Structure formats: structure tokens, C-alpha cells
Structure 1
Amino acid sequence: MVVTALVGVGAGVAGGLVFAALHGIQHLAFNYSEGTFLNGLLEAPPAARVIALVIAGVIGGVGWWLLRRWGVRRAEHAVVSVEAAVGGKRMPVVVTILNAGLQIIIVGLGASIGREVAPRELGALWADWLTRRAGLDATQRKVLVACGAAAGLAAVYDVPFGGAVFALEVLLAEVTLATVIPAFATAAIAALVAHVVVPTSPLYVMPQVELSPPLVVGSIVIGPLLGLAALGFVRGASFAQKHRPSGWRLAVVMPLVFAAVGVIALWIPAVLGNGRSLGQLALSAALPPLLILGITALKTLTTLGTIGAGAAGGTLTPSLAIGAGLGLALGAAWSLLWPGAPIVGFALVGAAAFLGVTMRAPITGLVLVVEFADQGLAVLAPAMLATAGAVAVGYLLRRRSRFIETP
């Protein structure tokens, strides 16, 4: 239990440091002292968006070119993913810290990609180092490395339950007393430790969603559509990942792609960052649904472009934002046929369903969205129905694709 507690403490410190560094870079780059990232972007000169993205592209392009070149030349210095670490592979300390640091820098400067991989990697690195020093066996180490990664996620977003469920459903795919106890303990400890710097207020501010027949039936209808869109995003991200530049080309392509994203942000600043700006706009219906749908399309394009440029990072918050934008638009269309439900309810349902497909983790997606937006139990039924429809469509299409591709 001592090692478990220390894993939680270390992951909490890592999550708090990531949060502080990310926000410090944002405030420095766009010269604002309070308010949201989107507010800071709107207050800064428009040219700052392009300049910051170009700097991010240069730092990321050169940094990852050198880091990956080092890994190719010496296998022990290659970046090890959280999943590989859970499988037993040792995470190199310096390389992992540098890889996470590059992610924090580019997201802080406005790159259109998620920030959640960095705290997961640092939490897993700490757990991997600690469990090896403590002499734990392979099974215990596997569980605690997964819990450390998930606790890092729990800390940086203040989602202890979502972090624990992520460890159980995604990283371990196992629910037993031997996994539940450390998952719950490390996530809770990490979130509490990170409260020193991470706010306890909800990540997204929106009204409480009330249960209503139009919302329930509409969720059943739009769920499969969200599943199709989410699967398309997953395949787009996979294609971009497979065709990213290598070698010195990375140092050339990334600044150019990031500069193009910065130009788009001259008119649509909400495409910058990890997706929280778009998510907040959608979950509060702050703009007309058609306009949010257009921003959602651009956010999808910039995120896929960022991945294709060779950047490392996550798709959790971009997926949530894209799902919320699509859900809002589909909910607005459904409300024309059957009015009565606030369209922000459809944005929340859309975020959960889209995230459930992209993460291949419907329970984690649902729990994270509910915790992010501080929602009550009323939203669970429609969100579960939409998620079930979305995940079912994704599962059937994946099976069909494998069947067609198999000779």
C-alpha cells in the first residue's frame, strides 16, 4: 500500500506540474493574466497566433526529429508508450521527460492536439521507476504502471473517477479487487495532491441537463451518426499517423503545417489548443449551431493536420470537442422536428458518444464527460443510449472492414 500511495502522490505532482507549465506557457505566449485560453487569444494581437504556432512548429519539429533520431540510433533511448510500459517495457527517464515536455510546449503555444498524454507518460514513468526500485513482480508492476498513467490523467483534469475507470477499462481491461483498489487509491490521491494548482471547478461550465422525451429519443437517433463520424476521425488520425514525415523532413513540415493552422486561427481562434475552447462553446451553445459546426470541421482538420505533421499528443479533448460540436448541430436539427429539449443536452450526449468510440472505451468516455461538465444522473440514460448506438456502429464497421480485408 505504501508503494501504491507513492504512485498516486508522484502522479499528482506530475499532473500539477503539467497543468502549471501549460498555463504558464499560454499566459506568456499570449500575454494575458486571467480568464480562459480563448479569452487570452481574443485579447492578444491576431498575429501572435501565427507567431506562436510557428515557434511551436520549430521547437516540436526540431525536438522530435532529434529525439526520434536518437531513439533510432540507440534502441534503449526510443520513446516507450504507456501501453508498452504496461506490457512490461522499461520507460527511459530522460527521453520520456523530453517527449512529454515537447507536448506541453506545443500545446501551450496553441498546437491543435490534446495535452493528456504528457501527464499519463510522466505518471507511468514514475510508477515504472518506483516499482522496479521496490522490487515488485511483473504483475504488480503492470497494475501500478497503468494506475500511475491514469492517475496523471486524473490529476491534470481533476477527474479521479474517470482516471480510475480509464485504468481499468483501457489500460488493464480487468476489473478485480487487485486492480480496482490501486486504481481508485492512486487516482484519488493524485487528484487531491494536484489540487494545490489544479482548480476544483468543472472543466466546462454549462447548465444542468434535465431528462426529457425529446432528448432520450433524439439521443437514440443521433448515436449511430456520431459513431460514423467518430470512426471517420479515428481512421483519419491513423492515416495521418502512418504518413507523418520522418527524419529531417519533420523539422520542415511541422513548422509549415503549424503556420497554416495559425493562419486559420486568425479568423477562427477556437481551433487552437487542446479543444477546450470549442468544447466550451458547444456545451454552452454560445454561438449558432451552424457556426459551431463549421468550427468543428476546422478543428477536425487542424487536429488531423497536427498529427500528420508528426506531433505527439492525445485526442481526448479534441474528440470531446468535436463530438460536442456535432451533437449540438444534430440536436438543433432534431429540435426542429421535436422541440422541448435544450440543445446543450445533445452537445453533452454527443461528446460522450464520440469519445466512447475514439477511445474504444464507452464507460470511460461517459464518466469523463459527466465529470468534466459536473452533470447529474439525469443525463446518464440519454448519454448511454447515444454511446451504445455509436459504439455499436463503430464495432460493426470495424468488423466488416477486417472481414473485407481478410483474404
Structure 2
Amino acid sequence: MVKRVHAAVLAAMDLPRQWLFRMVERFRIGPQLFLVLLATAIGALTGLGAVAFLLLIRLFKSFFFGVLYSAMAPAPYLIFLLPALGGLLIGPLIHFFPREAKGDGVPAAMETIALGGGIIKPRTVALRTITAAITIGSGGSVGREAPIAQIGAAVGSMVGQLLRVSGERMRNLVGCGAAGGIAAVFNAPMGGVFFALEVLLGDFSAQTFPLIVIASVAAVSVSRAILGNVLIFSVPTFVLESFPQIIFCGILGAACGAIAQLFIRSLDATENKFSSSKIPVWLRAAVGGGLTGIIAIGFPQVLGTDDIALDQAIHGALPWMLLLAIGFLKIAATSFSLGSGGSGGVLGPSLFIGGTIGALAGTAANALFPNVAGSVGGYTLIGMAAFLAPMVGAPLTAILILFEISGNYEIILPLLVAVINAMLISGAISRFSLYTRHLHKKGVDLVRGREEGVLKTLMVRDVMKKEVLTIPSSASFRQLSARFLEEHVDYFYLNDSEGALIGVVSFRDIRPYLMEEGLWDLVRVKDLATSNPVSVTPGESLFDVLIKFGYKNVAVLPVIDDPHSRKLIGIIHRREVLEAYQRRIMSSIREE
């Protein structure tokens, strides 16, 4: 039955694909124009999806804060019940669909693009959209950007699946959708472009960049047409008046880099604590929401994405003690909301926390050096970018989002200084951003590229062969050449009396002697062999093995049990490394 339904779905998908290709042929649309049209369509659909998601958040927010909270007017301290109730509503979804429904969806999208060929299931997006809308609408301390980015990525993925595009083209289409989502939520087209390039794709190629720009602009155009061209914040003009301001921004960046790592570890520790607790899975989000709500009794600014408080911080309207309190309490509230299983992103909370740190630094600078410090609002914006960059590992994205928000060229230099310092300090503490740390815990390392991430999850023991052909070191050249003809291999290995690897002889090594028949019984294998050959151990990753293959330019490497005993236990072929990589990619696609 399931197979018949699946076949029927595939047949139904063939009809629009065939019609589209007929239209392309009829109007003689070239491949480049076809890609431009695809990127535009994906961007426009993503813009509509972003608008729909934002309206869904407003619907839940009006229910929780317009209906329920209004009924609590005589007892405002009951506000803690709202995020707890939101967590209770999404609890069953988290229980039955833990992978799809909870947490920040960006790491999952990164893994899908890197290992799963960009295939995103509609069910994943639907579940995460609902859980995120409820979490945010009920006051959970999470951001809107991750679900919207995943909606866009799903649009790109579905278009790619419909057209049956190649793996690389699929990645580009998914990137187009994700860029459109981020651009729409922040009203920042170039910020969305670089989020897709830096975070999701890790690819700045000339083939990728134009399509993502087109999709991003299309998404923003659609969202502006429906919601209006409204800036998130009312930004005061920042004027760079003195060199000490650059120094202050450098110090601010360093502080943001250190606190960003604190935030990452807080999120990680909270998630581990909830995962290992005896609290039922369906109840954890409610507990985390309740803890967030308890903080909100005294500091309601930590709920949701409080743009009003951040706007007040930009204009220097909040006292330093309140800035200090809500900045660090926002770290705790977001850790509770996301760590317990609530759904949403970290970009919004990161901007809030960075903004409060920046406003605090600006307030302090103005109190100590009133003549040279500059406006508090400028430090607030710079703090937002300096905190966001190490959190998501995307300095260009952070710079461009804040530049598009401010529209002020004079902010660029102090912004660069702060972001660079933040990345340096954060990198000195840990090489992982929040997203790459999450994937690293699962054994997927994308810090240096998706291929490396895949190969580092595979070990030599997974693909090695235990059948090894050896030959005594005392054997003659005649015996060796006969063995090569008999076994049809390129390498024989030499062991000592204890089975330790002491050498290797290749077919290439015997070529100089093939015409010297008089030496065939005089030359011994040990005279031809390469001593102490490069070897690998079962616990090494295939990434490290591939480096050794490239270094020695050989097709086969011996496998030894450990570097001390060097007991020969198997061999590994270069082609098997590549085949294992391909199998892992295909396996990830099938799982999706």
C-alpha cells in the first residue's frame, strides 16, 4: 500500500515537471535564465512563507498575551504560566518527533546540506513551524530566524526535488531559500545572502553568489510589499569622532567574544541537564518555559524577542544596572527555553544580549570619558554584531545585518574592530560556534568543510580489509615476480618474526630488474623493499588517511594495530575511502 502511494506521488510530481520543461523549451529559455527564474520563485515563495510564519506568531501572541494574560490582570505575577503553557502544548510533538520539533533548526539544516544532499522533509518544516510559533508566541526566549530560514530551505529543497536537480544544484537552491528567509525576517537582503554562504553552504563561488542574491532580494521585496518596509529599530546616527572610540569598540568586541562562549556553554549545559533528567520528554519544555516565566516576573524584557527594550537600549534609556541584569538573565532564559526542547533560533536573543552589553559599555564609556565616548546607541549596535558573529561563526553576516539596520557608513570601522576582536577571543576559547559545536557533539565536524566533516566521522576499521599478502624478506626476485603474476596485486608487505611491519615492495620496485634475468636469484626482496612504510591504525579517521594517501601518492596503505608494536593487521585502498564517503552521503539522503 505504501509503495503504491509513493508511486502515485512520484507520478503526480512528474506532471508539473514535464509541463515546466515543455514551457522552457517552448520559450527557448537558456540554462542561466532558468536558474535566475528559479531563484526568483524560491525567494518569492520564501517571502510568503516568512510573512505567514510571522502572522502565525502574532496569532499565538494575541492568544497568550491578549486573551490569557488579560485575564490574569489582577495577578500579573502569573505571567510565568504563559511560557509554561506554551511548552506544555508542544510537549507531545517533542515526545513523538524529537528530531524535527525541538531546538534550533539551523544545525539540522547544515547537516542536511552537508551530508543529506539538501533533502528536507516537509514534515520537519511543518512541525518546527508550529512548535516555534507556539514557543515564541507564548513568550519563550527564542528567535524567529531559524524557523523562517528552515521554511525557506524547505522551499528550495522541494523545488530541487521536483526538478530532480543534481546534488550541488540542490545545495544552491536550499541556500537560496534560507537566504530569503533570513533576509525577510531582518529586512536585510545582504545579511541573508551571507548567512547562507557563511553558515549553511560554506561556499562563496561565483556560481552560487548571484542566485542567492536574487532569491534574497525577491524574498525581501515580497515581505516589504505585504508588511511594509519597516526597520526593526529606530537607529540614531553614529558619528566616529575620535580614536579612543576605536579602542572602546575593541574592548567591547573582546568582552562580547568571551560572553558569547559563556552563552554557548550555558545552552549546551542546560540541554545536557534536561536530556539526562528524569523529567518526561513531553513535560520538559513546560518546565523550561516555567523557569523562563519565573525570570520574567521581575524582568519581562527577557520574554520573546523584546524589540522595545532593545530600542530603549539603543537610545540610552535604560539604566546600567537593568542592562546588566537583563543581559545575563536573557542568557539564562534562552538556555531554559531552548535547552528544555523549545523551538526557535538564537540570532534574536544574541542580538538582544549583544545590544545590552554594548549599551552597558557605552553607558560606562560616557560616564568615564564623556567628551570622546560617542553615543550609547552606536555601542549598542556594535555590541549586537560583535556578539552575534562568534555565536553563529559568521562575522560577515553579523557586520552586514547591522550595517543594513543602521545604514551608516561611519559605523563600519568600529564595527570591524569589534567583530574581529570578538572572533579572536572566542576562537582562543573554542574553535566552535554554537552551530558547529552542536554538530561536533554528533560526530559531524563542519568547521573546515563538509567533505572533511563526513570523512572525520568514518574510521579505518570501518573500511579496512584484513586479508594481507606478505612475502619473506629473504625471498628471491624470481619468487617475488612469480607472486606478483600469481596474485595480481601491486604491493607485498614484509613482516619480522613477531608479525611487525618492516617494509613494503611494489610492482614498480621490480621493473628495473625485469630485463636482468641473471640477477633474479641473487637479488632479495629486502634489497628492493621500502623500509618503515607509512601506515595507519584502525582508530584513525578517513580524513587523516586521505592526507597520507596524498602525501605518499600510493593506492594502498598498510593497517597496523598500534604505532609501537606495528603488527600488520590489514590494508586500506584509496578507492574504498572514496566509496565509503559516497555511501555515507547516500545513507544520509535515504534517512531524510
* TM-score after normalising by structure 1: 0.88
Residue pair 1:278, 1:295 contacting (<8 A) in 2 also: no
Partner of 2:376: 343
| Counterpart secondary structure, 2:209 | helix
- Residue 238 of structure 1 deviates from its aligned partner by 2.4
- Residue 26 of structure 1 deviates from its aligned partner by 1.5
Following the alignment from structure 1 to structure 2, what is the Cα–Cα distance between the partners of residues 79 and 207? 32
Say which of 324, 327, 342 aligns to 2:355: 324
Following the alignment from structure 1 to structure 2, what is the Cα–Cα distance between the partners of residues 41 and 237? 33
Following the alignment from structure 1 to structure 2, what is the Cα–Cα distance between the partners of residues 201 and 96? 27
Partner of 2:390: 357
Say which of 402, 408, 429 aligns to 1:369: 402
Partner of 1:82: 109
- Summarize deviations over 1:111-150 as a string: whole Å, max 9, x none: 0111111111111111111111112111111111012112
Tell whether 2:420 aligns with 1:388.
yes
User: Aligned runs of 1:56-67 on 2, under 5 Å?
Assistant: 56-67=86-97
Partner of 1:20: 55
Unaligned runs of 5+ in 2: 1-35, 438-592
Partner of 1:266: 297
Partner of 2:179: 150
Residue pair 1:54, 1:258 contacting (<8 A) in 2 also: yes
Q: Relative to 1, partners in 2 of residues 1:387 and 1:44: Cα closer, same or farther, differing over 3 Å? A: farther
Could you tell which deviates more after superposition, 336-345 or 228-237? 336-345
Tell whether 2:165 aligns with 1:130.
no
Q: Which runs of 4+ in 1 moved over 4 A?
A: 40-45
- Residue 382 of structure 1 deviates from its aligned partner by 0.7
Residue pair 1:3, 1:131 contacting (<8 A) in 2 also: no
Could you tell which deviates more after superposition, 52-61 or 192-201? 192-201
| Counterpart secondary structure, 2:418 | helix
- Residue 108 of structure 1 deviates from its aligned partner by 1.1
- Summarize deviations over 1:16-68 as a string: whole Å, max 9, x none: 11111112222232229xxxxxxx99999725632321220101222211222
Partner of 1:37: none
Q: Relative to 1, partners in 2 of residues 1:223 and 1:70: Cα closer, same or farther, differing over 3 Å? A: closer
Say which of 314, 319, 324 aligns to 1:288: 319
- Residue 2 of structure 1 deviates from its aligned partner by 2.3
Following the alignment from structure 1 to structure 2, what is the Cα–Cα distance between the partners of residues 182 and 380? 26
1:308 corresponds to which letter in structure 2? G
User: Aligned runs of 1:103-118 on 2, under 5 Å?
Assistant: 103-118=132-147
- Residue 265 of structure 1 deviates from its aligned partner by 1.5
Following the alignment from structure 2 to structure 1, what is the Cα–Cα distance between the partners of residues 120 and 274? 23
| Counterpart secondary structure, 1:81 | helix
Following the alignment from structure 1 to structure 2, what is the Cα–Cα distance between the partners of residues 385 and 153? 25
Residue pair 1:293, 1:329 contacting (<8 A) in 2 also: yes
Residue pair 1:254, 1:309 contacting (<8 A) in 2 also: yes
- Residue 224 of structure 1 deviates from its aligned partner by 1.2
2:191 corresponds to which letter in structure 1? G
Tell whether 2:84 aligns with 1:51.
no
- Summarize deviations over 1:59-118 as a string: whole Å, max 9, x none: 1222211222899xxxxxx99921123221521212321122111111011101111111
Following the alignment from structure 2 to structure 1, what is the Cα–Cα distance between the partners of residues 420 and 283? 42
Residue pair 1:8, 1:189 contacting (<8 A) in 2 also: yes
Residue pair 1:208, 1:375 contacting (<8 A) in 2 also: no
- Summarize deviations over 1:278-306 as a string: whole Å, max 9, x none: 42232222211221111111111111111
Q: Relative to 1, partners in 2 of residues 1:244 and 1:51: Cα closer, same or farther, differing over 3 Å? A: closer
Higher RCO (CA-CA < 8 Å; seq separation 6+): 1
1:15 corresponds to which letter in structure 2? A
Partner of 2:197: 168
Unaligned runs of 5+ in 1: 33-39, 72-77, 403-407
1:29 corresponds to which letter in structure 2? F
Residue pair 1:114, 1:275 contacting (<8 A) in 2 also: no
Following the alignment from structure 1 to structure 2, what is the Cα–Cα distance between the partners of residues 282 and 44? 30
1:11 corresponds to which letter in structure 2? T
Could you tell which deviates more after superposition, 243-252 or 384-393? 243-252
Q: Relative to 1, partners in 2 of residues 1:43 and 1:159: Cα closer, same or farther, differing over 3 Å? A: farther
- Count of residue pairs brought into register by the alignment: 388
- Summarize deviations over 1:155-210 as a string: whole Å, max 9, x none: 12321111011112221222222111111000000111122433312101131111
- Residue 275 of structure 1 deviates from its aligned partner by 4.6
2:329 corresponds to which letter in structure 1? L
1:183 corresponds to which letter in structure 2? I
Partner of 1:36: none
Following the alignment from structure 2 to structure 1, what is the Cα–Cα distance between the partners of residues 197 and 273? 31
Q: Relative to 1, partners in 2 of residues 1:68 and 1:344: Cα closer, same or farther, differing over 3 Å? A: same
- Residue 240 of structure 1 deviates from its aligned partner by 2.6
Residue pair 2:106, 2:146 contacting (<8 A) in 1 also: no
Q: Relative to 1, partners in 2 of residues 1:44 and 1:264: Cα closer, same or farther, differing over 3 Å? A: farther
Partner of 1:74: none
Q: Relative to 1, partners in 2 of residues 1:145 and 1:315: Cα closer, same or farther, differing over 3 Å? A: same
Following the alignment from structure 1 to structure 2, what is the Cα–Cα distance between the partners of residues 138 and 320? 34
Could you tell which deviates more after superposition, 176-185 or 261-270? 261-270
Residue pair 1:282, 1:321 contacting (<8 A) in 2 also: no
Residue pair 1:85, 1:145 contacting (<8 A) in 2 also: no
Residue pair 1:5, 1:185 contacting (<8 A) in 2 also: yes
Higher strand share goes to which structure? 2
Partner of 2:506: none
Partner of 2:286: 255
Q: Relative to 1, partners in 2 of residues 1:49 and 1:369: Cα closer, same or farther, differing over 3 Å? A: farther
2:409 corresponds to which letter in structure 1? L
User: Aligned runs of 1:310-321 on 2, under 5 Å?
Assistant: 310-321=341-352
Following the alignment from structure 1 to structure 2, what is the Cα–Cα distance between the partners of residues 130 and 181? 18
Say which of 109, 131, 138 aligns to 1:102: 131
Residue pair 1:209, 1:375 contacting (<8 A) in 2 also: no
Following the alignment from structure 2 to structure 1, what is the Cα–Cα distance between the partners of residues 331 and 269? 14
| Counterpart secondary structure, 2:51 | helix
Following the alignment from structure 2 to structure 1, what is the Cα–Cα distance between the partners of residues 343 and 430? 25
Following the alignment from structure 1 to structure 2, what is the Cα–Cα distance between the partners of residues 27 and 157? 22
Task: Output the aligned Cα RMSD.
Answer: 2.8
Following the alignment from structure 2 to structure 1, what is the Cα–Cα distance between the partners of residues 99 and 252? 45
Following the alignment from structure 1 to structure 2, what is the Cα–Cα distance between the partners of residues 151 and 189? 7
Following the alignment from structure 1 to structure 2, what is the Cα–Cα distance between the partners of residues 320 and 336? 24
- Residue 7 of structure 1 deviates from its aligned partner by 1.0
Say which of 303, 307, 321 aligns to 2:334: 303
Following the alignment from structure 2 to structure 1, what is the Cα–Cα distance between the partners of residues 73 and 408? 34
